[in-house]
Each structure stands twice: as C-alpha cells, then as structure tokens.
Structure 1
C-alpha cells in the first residue's frame, strides 16, 4: 500500500485543507502485508472514511490499522479533514457540506486514479463521521453504493441540546438542524419517495454508548421506510477499541 499525506487548496472553503490517502500497491515481497489485490485496476474503488468531532484526517491511521486492513482488498481510502463542521455548510464557518459532497471527490480524482462510478464508491465514519457518511448516502445516492455509520451522531437536532453554542455555529439559530440535508430522518423520507437508487446501509453502535438511543431511533425509522439497513449492536462504549473492531466488520460487509 502507498500512503499519501496530501495538502491542497479548497476553493469552496477558501483555505488550505488536508487529506490522507491510502492507495493499493502490488508489493508481494513486503513482509507482513498482503498487498496483491487491485493493483491492475485502472481506477480504484474508493472508501471515503470520515472522522469524528474531536478528530482530524489523521485519526483513522493513528487509532486503527486501516492501512493493513485494506491491503488485500484493492481499495483506496480517502480520509479528509473537516474540523468541527458536522459536514454542514456552516452558519458561521466554511461550506463543508459542499466541500465533502462535491469538491473533495473531484479533487481526489484529479490527483489519484480513483473511480467515479457509483458502484465503486463507498463512505463510512464514526460518531460525527457516521452522521456524515449517512448524510452523503441519503442526500447523494447517485454517488455512493454503500455507507456505514459507526456509533453515529445521527440526530443533528440533538446537538443543540448537547452543545448549543456549537450547534448555533453549524446550523444557525433557526431550524437548520431539522431541515434537509442536515436532518437524516427527513433525508431518508425524501430518498424513498424519489426514483433514486438507494445505497446499502450498515449501522452499528455499542449498547453502552451515549448515542445508543439516537441510533435505535434511526434504526426503527429506517425499518419503517424499508431501507436496506444492516444493523449490529453489542457491548461497547464511544471509544476506539470498539471502532477498530467494527471498521473490520464494515470492510467485510462492503460490496467489493
């Protein structure tokens, strides 16, 4: 595998940004790694892997063995920085929804041999990143074949109760958290009423996680709508030991 630490300028944000990118490499002589698969592809299948509220683009590499986990899968992994944006066009901040949903994939594909086919693109994330992953899948179903949320902060309106100052910065003092694209429940309603193909969804959460009840509510809403949702739960808190195990489950589940 190749690891690229990429700094670039975002026209959408008006500032320099960063992403880490893992690319498949044929390296059969590399000790301790299975880096054989996918190297012959002209354009790589891609997993966009999103970070949580207190993290950045380096966190998946620092807290898990994601590079080793994907080495035999022939898939690229793009890990962007979005700061504390909730993957939104912020009321008092950058347009991170436009950045993550439009500009970032275009920039990544201009730099690296990444496929733009829907069936080759997936998104996953933890906590705030789980919200971001489902936000992309539900609002941009033509771009992603599958999405996974690990302990996702799936109810944007709850942010106002937990962190009112941050919520005002992100969604404004109005009702932005309860509107599409920010409200995942409404985004799911809108998707099932459209003619768009619905991405496969994977959701997991630890039963001791403070976001467990939020996840149960979204699971039940998805079931009522008939969304193709695979759900798993078990003992676990909001911590990296749980996410390190579950990202391996996500990679097994992805339709590669």
Structure 2
C-alpha cells in the first residue's frame, strides 16, 4: 500500500485542509502485507472520523492499511473538525466540502473510480452519522455505507454536545431537517429510492446504543434493507472499531472488482 498525507486548498472551506489516503499497491515482497491492485481506477472507501478526532485517527488507532491491502481498495480519510459533516451555522461548509468538492479533488489527484458501484462510505460515532447522511442524501454516489457506533438522532447531539450543536445547527430549522437521518430514511422510502447497502453496528454498553436501536427499528419498519449487528458488553472505543472496520471491509461488495 502507498500512504499519502495530502494538504490542499479547499475552495469550499476557503482554507487549507488535509486528507490521509491509502492507495493500492501490487506487491509480493513486502513482509507481513499482501498487496493487491488492478491497474485500473481504484474502488474507494471514504472513511470518516468522530467528534474528538481528525483525518489521522484511523491510521493511528486501527490496522486499516493492513485490512485494505489485499482488497485493492483505496481509502480516503478527510478532516471535518467537529462539524457533524454539515454546512455549519457558525463555521465552515463541511457538508458541501465532503459531498461535492472532496471526491472531485481526490479523483484529480489519484486514479480513483467515479462509478457508483466502486464507491463506499463508512465512519464511527460522528462519522457514522456523516456516512449515513451522505448515503441517504446522495444515494447515487455509493454502493454501500456503514455506521459504526454512529450518532443517529440530531436531537441527542443538542443534549450531549450543546456547544457543538449551537455552532453547527444554531436555531436553523432547515439545517436540522436536512440532517435528520430518520426524515431522510422516510423520504427515501416514500420515493422508493435505490439506496446503497446499509450496515450498522453498535456495542450494547455504548452510550449511543439506544438511539442506534431506535434508528435500526425505524429503518426496518420502512422496509429499507439494513444489516445490523451488535456485540454484548462492547463500548464506544477503538478496540471495537478496529474489529468492526475489518468486518465492514469483508461486507463491502468488492468481489467482482478484485477478481
């Protein structure tokens, strides 16, 4: 695998930002790592961080590079600060940056596929919220989306993180509606939208467990296909997420692209 830290100027944010990128590399001589690459444009996973972290965290806390190496999968890890992947009421337009500018910039820098069937998104906690929001609002961009211990209810953000909530959403009801996962799922069901495959997981001792169960039940009541998995006693921590991101990569519909 090739690992690249890329700093570039974002026209949307009006400032420099950074991303971490893992690119496939075909190799047989790298000790302890089996590399795979097709020689074509790479399938890509956009991997989103949580509230207290940044674009470097997945590389620092998990074995994502080792997990991705044999799959021929590129991984893009952007920095979105504490934005909840939203065009903030008092801050920067991270939603527009993420969903519009970032894929275009990355494809101009690297040989990444723009085909829906080659693109995936996943994230943990705040990033789980961002992944499902992106998948539900822009379903034509992804074949699959995964939320690991994700925030699923905007109203709970106000209770748990009031300062962040004020900066991100303020009193802007339009922003709140645009970011409510339950409403986005209902709209998709009503319109019979072809959604990406959805994967959701959470530990039973996670402080976000109850809202994850509520979202799971609501989505299933809409007859939207969703693979949900939970593990007894697991909490909101990197031991669980390192395990589960490996599980997510196994679940992604990559087989036909890497054979």
Counterpart in the other structure of 1:99:
97
Summarize the alignment of residues 1-256 of structure 1 with structure 2, pairs less than 5 Å apart: 1-35=1-35, 37=36, 39-176=37-174, 178-180=176-178, 182-234=179-231, 235-256=233-254
What SS is found at the alignment partner of 1:70? helix
TM-superposed CA distance for 1:165, in Å, is 2.0
Given that 2:89 and 2:172 are in contact with CA atoms closer than 8 Å, whether structure 1 keeps it comes out as no
- Structure (1/2) with the larger helix percentage: 2
Residues in 2 aligned to 1:41 and 1:199: alpha-carbon distance in whole angstroms: 26
User: RMSD of the alignment, in Å?
Assistant: 1.0
TM-superposed CA distance for 1:195, in Å, is 4.8
TM-superposed CA distance for 1:191, in Å, is 1.2
TM-score scaled by length of structure 1? 0.97
What SS is found at the alignment partner of 1:205? strand
Structure 1: runs of 5+ lacking an equivalent: none
Residues in 1 aligned to 2:163 and 2:203: alpha-carbon distance in whole angstroms: 27
Given that 1:142 and 1:196 are in contact with CA atoms closer than 8 Å, whether structure 2 keeps it comes out as no
Given that 2:49 and 2:79 are in contact with CA atoms closer than 8 Å, whether structure 1 keeps it comes out as yes
Equivalent residue pairs, number: 253
Structure 2: runs of 5+ lacking an equivalent: 255-259
Residues in 2 aligned to 1:12 and 1:93: alpha-carbon distance in whole angstroms: 12
TM-superposed CA distance for 1:176, in Å, is 4.5
Given that 1:19 and 1:57 are in contact with CA atoms closer than 8 Å, whether structure 2 keeps it comes out as yes
Residues in 2 aligned to 1:25 and 1:238: alpha-carbon distance in whole angstroms: 32
Higher mean C-alpha deviation, range 225-234 or range 160-169: 160-169
TM-score scaled by length of structure 2? 0.96
